[in-house]
């Protein structure tokens, strides 16, 4: 199926969770914030948030510094 990840079309297996998508991308969930169709997904809900065709996912990495 096709999803939109940070503004880019991307293929993802049907029935994948947001957590599975992050794992596929090599992203640790502790260092990012995830928005699914305009709503923030809590870290403890990433495995239960199932992707559907045309979902819009925004992943924002935390950056430290000063």
The pLDDT of residue 62 is 75
Residue listed under structure tokens 């065709």: 53
The pLDDT of residue 66 is 61
Instruction: Give the pLDDT confidence of 40-52 residue by residue, as tens digits.
Output: 999 999 999 999 9
All domains of the chain, ordered by start, with CATH? Answer: 2-61 (3.10.20.30)
Instruction: Give the pLDDT confidence of 21-44 residue by residue, as tens digits.
Output: 999 999 999 889 999 999 999 999
**Short-list 27, 30, 63, CA closest to 5:** 27
pTM, two decimal places: 0.89
């Amino acid at each position: 199926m096709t999803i939109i990840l940070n503004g880019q079309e991307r293929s993802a297996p049907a029935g994948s969770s947001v957590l599975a998508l992050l794992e596929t991308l090599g992203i640790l969930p502790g260092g990012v914030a995830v928005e699914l169709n305009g709503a923030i997904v809590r870290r403890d809900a990433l495995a239960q948030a199932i992707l559907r065709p045309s979902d819009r996912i925004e992943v924002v990495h935390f950056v430290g510094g000063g």
